[in-house]
Structure 1
Amino acid sequence: MPWHQAKTHGKGEELVICLHGLWRSLWAMDPLAKQCIHSGFSCINLPYPSFRNTLEQMVERLDLLIQQEAPKYSKIHLLTHSLGGVIARRYLDACGHDKCSKVLMIAPPLRGSMIVDWLGHSPLLRVLGPAGDFLSTANMGNECSVISQDVESAVIMGNKVKIPLFQHVIEGENDGIVRVEAGMIEGLDDFKIVHADHTFITSHPEVLVSTDRFLRTGKL
């Protein structure tokens, strides 16, 4: 559908590509995308079928977009939520581009999901699609232990639980879906925790301010 196609907004010389999370849509990243445009960046809020594609397919979609857009901009930045951070991190390892400058990942399960571990071989795991095959803590512990040093990188995690549905599953400080520890990987340039839950963290005022600051200065 037309609203599922990537479109560029803004007239900045630097491009920000937004990647939403699992079972979400580009609307989830809309507050961040608008913040980027207001700050003078161009922005593409990229939709993708997160519940149908494999990780490799999602990385390929991002790679094709960056190859297509790179000649038009001086720099490209990646701004992600949840699963989008896993895609961005894998992209930087598997593909990368010399114009990729900054990556900010919000609530990313970079060290895996305890919810996926808990679901195990349950039929409910199928609801997650292919993501259920690679988001376990065992798989992600090896997959995302280090971030590329070719870019400036930062992570923002939430620690507010609005709906304690999975609290008997998730150990330690968390946002109701992803534990804070899951975003702590080696090589990050900055790391921050905000009092926000997983679903609405992308519209949290402190996150919007920190995102703008990071894209402009490299610090949250």
Structure 2
Amino acid sequence: MPWHKPIKIDGGDELVIFMHGLWRSYRSMGPVVQAVTKAGYSTLNIPYPSFKESLEELVGRLHKTVEQERGNYSKIHFVTHSLGGVIIRNYLNSYEHSESSRVVMLAPPLQGSRIVDWLQRARLNFVLGPAGTFLSTESMVREIASFPEHIEIGVIMGNRVRIPFLHRIIDDESDGIVRVETGMAEGLKEFKVIHADHTLITLHQDVLEDVPKFLRTGSF
């Protein structure tokens, strides 16, 4: 919402920027932020209008934030959920970033979403805003599929479906929204699958342990 502001906690000389998913808020990243803060990092949990702006506009927002913080910390890392991972990938392929940075993506639809495809066929994609266009499998095929070699990327996908109807639409191993295989991309350092659904993966105990570990060591 317009009145939501970034929440910043200073705790170390390395900053971790958090980006939530589509139709979510910065509050959904709260448990992961807390875990990373306890691990000794400064954190910046940023809200953004995920359902109102184009991918290019969202990437531009992120770039502006990074530029504002760049001189204040020795390193800037990222932790994302869902759509946030797509934004980060486009940002990393559009702007130069530190070679020592690490990124953890939770349930990123890097190859698009069949749920979005279904909503388009049902003429319901308007509920997603611009994301209803650029998150389709057809649109994501046209995006750069890889990551820069000098950035260490770890992806955690879920494979729990709470709503059987969604499983019939996706018809593959998924978290109810995103297929497990859509989290794969060239240039990943680590890839892990846990028994979590798309919405609640940010609360999963494995995530709360693995995210700080990857930021610290580069592995899960």
1:10 is displaced (CA, Å) by 2.7
Q: 1:169 deviation in Å? A: 1.3
Deviations 1:69-114 (A, max 9, x none): 0100000001000000000000001123236601111000000001
**2:173–2:179 contact (8 Å) kept in structure 1:** yes
Identity of aligned residues (%): 53
Matched letter for residue 214 of structure 2:
F
Change (3 A) 1:60 1:100: farther
Number of the residue aligned with 1:31: 31
Q: Which is worse superposed, 122-131 or 41-50?
A: 122-131
- In 1, the alpha carbon distance for the partners of 2:99 and 2:4 equals 25
Distance 1:9 1:3, change over 3 A: farther
Q: How do 1:92-131 and structure 2 match up within 5 A?
A: 92-98=92-98, 101-131=101-131
Distance 1:195 1:27 in 2: 22
Gaps of 5+ in 2: none
Secondary structure of the residue aligned to 1:168 is helix
**TM norm structure 1:** 0.96
Determine if contact 1:10/1:42 at 8 Å carries over to the other structure. Answer: yes
RMSD value, Cα = 1.5
Question: How many angstroms apart in 2 are the aligned matches of 1:7 and 1:31?
Answer: 13
Separation (CA, whole Å) in 2 of partners of 1:7 and 1:157: 26
Structure 1 residue 144, shift from structure 2 partner = 4.3
Query: Take 1:191 and 1:214, find their aligned partners in 2: how far apart are those partners?
Result: 11
Indicate how the Cα distance of structure 1 residues 214 and 3 shifts in structure 2: closer, same or farther if over 3 A, else same. Answer: farther
**Contact conserved, 1:111 with 1:140, CA < 8 A, in 2?**
yes
Write the distance in 2 (CA, Å) between the matches of 1:163 and 1:15.
37
- 8 Å Cα contact 1:111/1:144 also seen in 2: no
State the secondary structure of the residue aligned to 1:154: strand
What is aligned with 2:205?
A: 205
For 1:15, the equivalent position in structure 2 comes to 15
Q: Contact (CA 8 Å) 1:22, 1:83: kept in 2 or not? A: yes
The CA distance in 1 between the partners of 2:176 and 2:198, in whole Å, is: 6
How many Å separate the matches in 1 of 2:173 and 2:150? 30
| Superposition TM-score, scaled by structure 2 size | 0.96
Is the CA contact 2:103–2:154 (under 8 Å) kept in the aligned structure 1? yes
CA separation in 2, counterparts of 1:47 and 1:72?
Answer: 20
Task: Show the counterpart of 1:143.
Answer: 143
Distance 1:164 1:46 in 2: 33
1:156 corresponds to: 156
Gaps of 5+ in 1: none
The 10-residue stretch of structure 1 (47-56 or 157-166) with the greater mean CA deviation from structure 2: 157-166
SS of 1:123's partner is coil
Contact kept? 1:76, 1:99, Cα under 8 Å: no
CA–CA distance in structure 2, aligned partners of residues 2 and 24 of structure 1: 14
Q: Which residue of 1 aligns with 2:192?
A: 192
C-alpha distance in 2, partners of 1:174/1:99? 32
Paired residues, what number?
Answer: 220
Question: The residue matched to 2:181 in structure 1 has which SS?
Answer: helix
Cα distance, 1:99–1:63 mapped onto 2, change above 3 Å: farther
Structure 2 CA distance for aligned equivalents of residues 4 and 144 of structure 1:
31
Which residue of the partner structure matches residue 86 of structure 1?
Answer: 86
Shift of 1:32: 0.5
Given the alignment of the two structures, is residue 168 of structure 1 paired with residue 168 of structure 2, yes or no?
yes
CA contact (8 A) 1:116 1:135 kept: yes
